[in-house]
Amino acid sequence: MYCVRNVTEDLYWIGANDHRLSLFENIHPIPEGVSYNAYVLMDEKTVLFDTIDWSSCRQFLENLEHVLNGRPLDYMVINHMEPDHGASIEEVLLRYPDVTIISTEKAFMLMRQFDFDINGHTLDEVKEGDTRCFGKHTVTFVAAPMVHWPEAMVTFDVTDGVLFAADAFGSFGALDGKLFNDEVNFDRDWIDHARRYYTNIVGKYGPHVQLLLKKAAGIVNDIKYICPLHGPVWRSDFGYLLDKYQHWSTYEPEEKGVMIAYASMYGNTEAAAQALAAKLCEKGMTNVVMYDVSNTHVSYLISETFRLSHVVLASVTYNLGIYPVMHNYLMDMKALNLQNRTFAIVENGSWACKSGDLMEKFIQNEMKNMTVLSSRLSLASTLKAEKANELDVLADAIIESMEEEKNK
């Protein structure tokens, strides 16, 4: 049975929801599922915008056939070739061999690299600023390199103000019937999915997202719909979404707050982390969250680190090094180009306490524009009552640094 929804009178969402995939890109947990969005425009010519993941291809083809209702498929615009969108291209070609594929030079190169049999089909290579008319609708193409692969572009339907945004403005989470941002409580139910999607998938490419946002600024008043390849279609409240993207792509925190990420083998480092959290709250900083890095997938840690201004790293020493999962978290922060955060350090070691120096060195030497507070809490096995003053000093230092940043 087909499952489609109208976006506008003549534009249809023909994607699919996937609740069976447990790890997106085989690495990021998606307990709430994911949607693969594809769209078809029914004009004088029929135009498909992107395909979907192989896992949901059957549903997608049934949707496409239903909307076409016996008409041929004239064009297939490929904005992004990553297989969660491009994997079904060959299936479309098998069923609609006369379709013309519109895409970028690099995307055609990738199609061949993935061994798609596109030779013998009509290929229309486009670049930034090119336009195509399908009858009532004219579209223009905008290069979006590294958002989030090098071949990516976005397509703007200037007739109806529809931006086919590729991976930009997407989100984890299955749609489950709801298509538009105003059909969900995005700020309550979706923003964490959207942030975790952006920060882990596109987060490294903030400068490229900035370039795309600057290009979009020129047409922002003409945009009526944003159609991403994952998650809800936006038709209102663009300011909310753009503000989030502005923060994320410039690596500026959304909120003043403290994330305490702790690595604890027997509960002693965790107890110190809890004591610090209580102290911060007692002093009035109640926007505090705590994560055990051993049982929190790093994609959630990254998402929260993008959200908040301050991070406390509390780690045991392990094999004279940083506890492995804490090290992995730091490596991921570096890989994703995260910047502009203030760190405080809590270290623990029963005989050779090394983790604090090593974490500080990593932050200072491997990452950009980070601050490490000079106050540090050092534990020998467990937090003793005589350390109460040091705990107090560390909490004060965190709060004072927030005040200083506010006054800058």
Interacting residues toward ligand FEO by CB under 6 A: 80, 82, 84-85, 148-149, 167, 229-230
Please name the amino acid found at residue 111.
Answer: M
**Sequence-distant (≥ 6) Cβ neighbours of residue 299 within 8 angstroms:** 27, 28, 29, 196, 200
Nearest CB to ligand FEO, comparing residues 85 and 341: 85
Q: How far is the CB of 64 from ligand FEO (least distance, A)?
A: 19
Q: Which residues is 301 bridged to in the sheet?
A: none
Nearest CB to ligand FEO, comparing residues 230 and 310: 230
Nearest CB to ligand FEO, comparing residues 84 and 90: 84
DSSP secondary structure letters along 53-112: -GGGHHHHHHHHHHHHTTPPP-EEE-S--SHHHHTTHHHHHHH-TTPEEEE-HHHHHHHH
Q: Report the relative pairing of strands 122-125 and 100-103 from DSSP bridges.
A: parallel
Q: At 308, which helix (H) or strand (E)?
A: strand 308-318
Q: How far is the CB of 322 from ligand FEO (least distance, A)?
A: 31
Q: How far is the CB of 24 from ligand FEO (least distance, A)?
A: 8
Nearest CB to ligand FEO, comparing residues 132 and 148: 148
User: Is 344 within 8 Å of 291 (Cβ atoms)?
Assistant: no
User: Is 288 within 8 Å of 277 (Cβ atoms)?
Assistant: yes
Q: How far is the CB of 179 from ligand FEO (least distance, A)?
A: 17
Instruction: State how far the Cα of 103 lies from the Cα of 342, in Å rounded to an integer.
Output: 42
User: Is 179 within 8 Å of 5 (Cβ atoms)?
Assistant: yes
Q: Report the relative pairing of strands 75-77 and 100-103 from DSSP bridges.
A: parallel
Nearest CB to ligand FEO, comparing residues 25 and 366: 25
Q: How far is the CB of 396 from ligand FEO (least distance, A)?
A: 44
* Tokens standing for residue 94: 């098998």
Q: How far is the CB of 149 from ligand FEO (least distance, A)?
A: 6
Give the nearest residue (CB) to ligand FEO: 82
Nearest CB to ligand FEO, comparing residues 38 and 308: 38
Write the CA distances from 154 to 137, 145, 148, 274, 404, integer angstroms.
Answer: 16, 10, 11, 46, 40
Q: How far is the CB of 381 from ligand FEO (least distance, A)?
A: 46
Nearest CB to ligand FEO, comparing residues 96 and 149: 149
Nearest CB to ligand FEO, comparing residues 208 and 230: 230
Instruction: State how far the Cα of 156 lies from the Cα of 42, in Å rounded to an integer.
Output: 16
Closest CA to 145 of 212, 197, 216: 212
Q: How far is the CB of 36 from ligand FEO (least distance, A)?
A: 8
